[in-house]
Amino acid sequence: MSFIWAIVTGVIFSYIFKSGWFFLLGLFVGPMCYRIFNNIAPMRNSQPSPTLFLTIAFEVLGHLSKAKGQVTQDDIHIATQFMDQLQLDSEKRKLAQSSFNRGKAVDYPLQERLNELYVQYRYRKKVLNIFCEHLIRAAISDGSLHAKEEQILYTVAQAFHIPRAKMAIYIQMIMASYQFQRGQQYQHNHQYQQQGFQRPSGQNDINNAFKILGVEPTADNTTIKRAYRKLMNEHHPDKLVSKGLPKEMLEAEKKRAQEIQAAYDLIKTHKGFK
């Protein structure tokens, strides 16, 4: 097979550069390209370990909790809620608990563990993005983002080769999602008693809806629709599981897709398009 690559590369080089010398160069380069391709292809097709994803997710969650100082009951409650949301069985729950405790250690090797996860998922960037989103959601679950928590989030981004500016956008989107959820919950719990309908969505809800989609309020309808479809595609549970996302995270991604849908529906109503 390397011989075929050598011939094909030689022909292509000689055709492009109009020289027999480049045919000889192609004979040399072709087998090198073949070896590189053979090394990369198995890594792209290999299935990463969902267990590793869950393990490191809860380790870093524990590390985030410890970053602020003392791990509080609220921090433990957040981790427990996450376990409940993922509907972990008893075995996976024990794994999550031990991982959370391991992440609290002073000498927890954050960079080393993140690198290990990146090696497994480097050809599945959408899954790494989901990892970041869940960490951000955990970090802001108390309504604010501590400076040390933010530092850890950017460390994760660097380990995953996610640009700092893109991580900043993720943080903004998830914070908007958190505030949007609270706004929607308020509407649900405070209906007009006499008229029997919910209060109109406030400007904050609309602004947060735009942030969830990652677009400006001045964006045209085509841009908004494109952003919506892109996000829905990125958070499609079945597609993510096929890329190595643990099946336990299906429900969480369904809820994320519902958030995106709710934000899009509100924007459509606000801007008056279908």
| Secondary structure tally for the chain: helices H, strands E | 13, 0
Total-model pTM: 0.75
Average pLDDT over residues 194-223: 79
Q: How far apart are CA 53 and CA 114, in angstroms?
A: 10
pLDDT, tens digit, 9 for 90 and up, residues 100-152: 999 999 999 999 999 999 998 888 888 899 999 999 998 988 888 899 999 99
Average pLDDT of the segment spanning 149-157: 95
Helix 250-271 / helix 221-234 crossing angle, nearest 10 deg: 170
CA-based Rg of the chain, rounded to a whole angstrom?
24
18-74 pLDDT, tens digit each: 655 555 554 555 556 545 444 444 444 456 677 899 999 999 999 999 988 888 888
CA 159 → CA 42, 118, 163, distances in Å? 22, 7, 10
| Beta carbons of 25 and 67 less than 8 angstroms apart | no
For residue 190, name the pLDDT band (cuts at 50, 70, 90). Answer: low
